Amino acid sequence: MSTKPFNDNFLKACRGEAHDHVPAWYMRQAGRYQPEYRKIREKYSLFEITHRPEVCAEVTMLPIQQLDVDAAILFADIMTPMPAMGIHVEIKSNIGPVIDNPITCKEDVEKLQPLHPSEDVPYILDTIKLLREQLSVPLIGFAGAPFTLASYLIEGGPSRNYYKTKAFMHSNPEAWHLLMDRLGEMTVTYLQAQIHAGAQAVQVFDSWVGTLNAQDYKTFVAPVMNHIFSALEKENAPKIMFGVGAGHLLQEWNKLPLDVIGLDWRTNITQARQQGVSKTVQGNLDPGLLLADWPELEKKAKEILDEGMETPGFIFNLGHGVYPQVKVETLQRLTAFIHDYSAKK
């Protein structure tokens, strides 16, 4: 059990309430840039780590102990629930998720099984329970969004252009909407189970939805996203949305019943506010700047803080994940700067 007083700045910022300093956490804050994590990976694969609650909790805790960030995010992968649905997935180093039985037709979609979290992913729920005993900061649970999951299931792995996904969407709209329904129900069930196990906030990663234009998003994706966040409204946990290259979708996201919109580095906070984004904003340092000299990194962090603090409700994060080449000391220094600068201001 943690003996530290509980730091709830992150939860207060999610809700737009007054707090002591701008909270910070970083996407992929547990990972290959940490020597301790690399040592664990010598022994276990990513999926093996997530199947061992003690090891998974240890990995999740590393950045809390090292960086003094204001929130932990469960260490897992967006593909974690897929095997239970009947999809064989392998996480290949330097590639990502690879599917050996990609979806090509409605019959493939109909074979997808519903998720039963306590039976299918008990190790995830056990990890959350363990972490709640150990943490003195909030724990964020997460899931992949239906479009991003579908893109892997249809493409068979990562893609640069998503042409198979877009062709499927337009050529087989009935099968597409069935796929969105199945994945949407899984997402709701999975996130509810994480919240009931102890996750205090949840983030939905629609990493690749920015590849769609706004009209296709409204037609093929918006209905399922509205269903997911509406179904989670009764849970007492802030809900965060994040995608890459999705600045053109911010007005659509702002309509959803969620609490926080995550920005990547392509759209600055002022631009988002000018588009009418009224919710708490999370972001949005370009992760490449973590490899720049400190004066440049500090200058950009200050700019983001100044923009973010102009209105209530701001959480400092990256515009995407930490690169393996980043030094632990850089993130330590950045977190301390964020806390000190925002507390004084």
Structure tokens at 254: 């702002």
Structure tokens at 242: 């994040």
Quick check: helix, strand or coil at residue 100?
coil
Do strands 72-73 and 89-92 pair parallel, antiparallel, or not at all (unpaired)?
unpaired
Helices 146-155 & 222-231, crossing angle to 10 degrees?
130
Active site residues: 28, 32, 41, 77, 152
CB 239 within 8 A of CB 259: yes
- Is 69 exposed, middle or buried (CB count within 10 Å of its CB: 0-12, 13-18, 19+)? buried
Quick check: helix, strand or coil at residue 241?
strand
Alpha-carbon distance 30 to 80, whole Å?
Answer: 17
Nearest to 254 by CA among 215, 226, 232: 226
Structure tokens at 306: 């100044």
Query: HSE (CB half, 13 Å, CA atoms) of 42?
Result: 5
CB 287 within 8 A of CB 320: yes
Alpha helices in the chain (DSSP H): 9-14, 35-43, 46-50, 53-67, 82-85, 106-110, 117-120, 122-134, 146-155, 163-171, 173-197, 214-220, 222-231, 250-255, 269-274, 294-308, 328-344
